[in-house]
Amino acid sequence: MAEIKVPELAESITEGTIAQWLKKPGDYVEKGESICELETDKVNVEIMAEESGVLQQLLANEGDTVAVGQAIAIIGEGAAAAPSVAPQPADEPKPAAPVNQGEETAPQPVAAVQVSGQRPIASPAARKMAREKGIDLTQVPTADPLGRVRKQDVASFAAQTAAAPQPASQAAPASTPAAVPAAEAGKPVIREKMSRRRQTIAKRLLEVTQTTAMLTTFNEIDMSAVIDLRKRKKDKFFEEHDVRLGFMSFFVKAAVAALKKYPYVNAEIQGDEILLKKYYDIGVAVSTDEGLVVPVVRDCDRKSFAEIERDIAELAAKARSNKLSLADLQGGTFTITNGGVFGSLLSTPLLNGPQVGILGMHAIKLRPVAIDEERIENRPMMYVALSYDHRIIDGKEAVGFLKTVKDLIENPEDLLLES
């Protein structure tokens, strides 16, 4: 017999949450086969069996938080013993005895899952939704003859609970304050548990605001030249490279050129030292259903426009299908985020620590622009923002960095020469 333990994942990850068991007690597992999905601060990873055998016992349930090195299952040779899960408290009721084969009973609809306190039978998707919404699965009704709770049962129960007025005398849950704000009393609300990734995002963004001297400087870019160049070259570009030419590769290349000119924007503070990085691994923020992630495009100074566009497309696809590895997210030196894809006109991006600079792109809007003293033209304009850590970056450097990005985007021929 051998224990399956949570492996070392990354230096910054010390624990995770069991999101879903892929195997159940009694299943035969091959060496290297995935047995469960672990939700960490950054990505979801699958834990694999280190040897072949029968999964005899689960030492943690779905939704449990487990530490690196903690045993979560036992695997053994030969036939499995009676399948078991993580031990339950001694005072919990035992499962009902099975019906004898000779007895015949008419199937009855299940009004509720199981007796309160007993671990209910539920699909992984249902368990995940219940955790997020703070719902006790034992209270969820289901029409399944075997009492299994499905995702749609949880969704229906959540909607009914939110719509139904709560009795004034009902006691508040132990995890919430006893006093309910007057504005909330008798009003429909939904209480959701934050996912591990959302908790981590909240924690780290708060740390950034508390531990850095963050300032933001703004500028605007006339996108006419880049739009015209892209319009003329996009079909040929796609034919030759099998990837679409977007705006992000232009901004990545412009950022790299500006980082070379202003190296402290590509730095990091370590104690009382400044670490100047002479490589250019650019993080590109991607929005997913689970929250914002920042996969990293490596060696952007050495890559062509096509290679950068291809890397961005592949990383974005992996992010949205939850297939990013930890290596995809580590080691970035500077970040670019594009709120313009959601229609943002202007915003102040927060630093992606320990980096000291982040470039924010925004929506392209036609605005009247003074060409000279007599002419005004409608031009496609984009506001850009650079948030920076004022502890090592002075305003002159920040403004110069953003002005360099502006000049290169407005003159893409210069950008090609810089590359």
What's the half-sphere exposure (Cβ side, CA atoms, 13 Å) at 363? 10
* Catalytic option among 27, 328, 390, 407: 390
CA–CA distances in Å: residue 388 to residues 214, 326, 335, 359, 379: 6, 25, 11, 9, 28
Q: Rounded to an integer, what distance in angstroms lies between the CA atom of residue 49 and that of residue 289?
A: 29
Q: Write down the catalytic residue from 27, 222, 394, 407.
A: 394
Contacts within 8 Å (CB) and 24+ apart, 226-230 = 226/250, 226/409, 226/410, 226/412, 227/364, 227/380, 229/412
For the question of residue 136 being annotated catalytic, the response is no
Strand partners for 214: 389
Distance (Å, whole) CA 222 – CA 405: 11
Instruction: Report how far apart the first and last C-alpha atoms of the chain are (Å, whole number).
Output: 58
To the query of whether residue 390 is one of the catalytic residues in this protein, the response is yes
Enumerate residues 6+ apart whose C-beta is below 8 A from 26: 54, 55, 56, 80, 83
* CA proximity to 361, closest of 286, 251, 281, 229: 251
- Secondary structure (H, E, C), 328-368: HHCCCCEEEEEHHHHCCCCCCCCCCCCECEEEEECCEEEEE
Token pair 């703070």 is found at 134
* Residue 118 to residue 206: CA distance in whole angstroms: 39
List residues with catalytic annotation: 390, 394
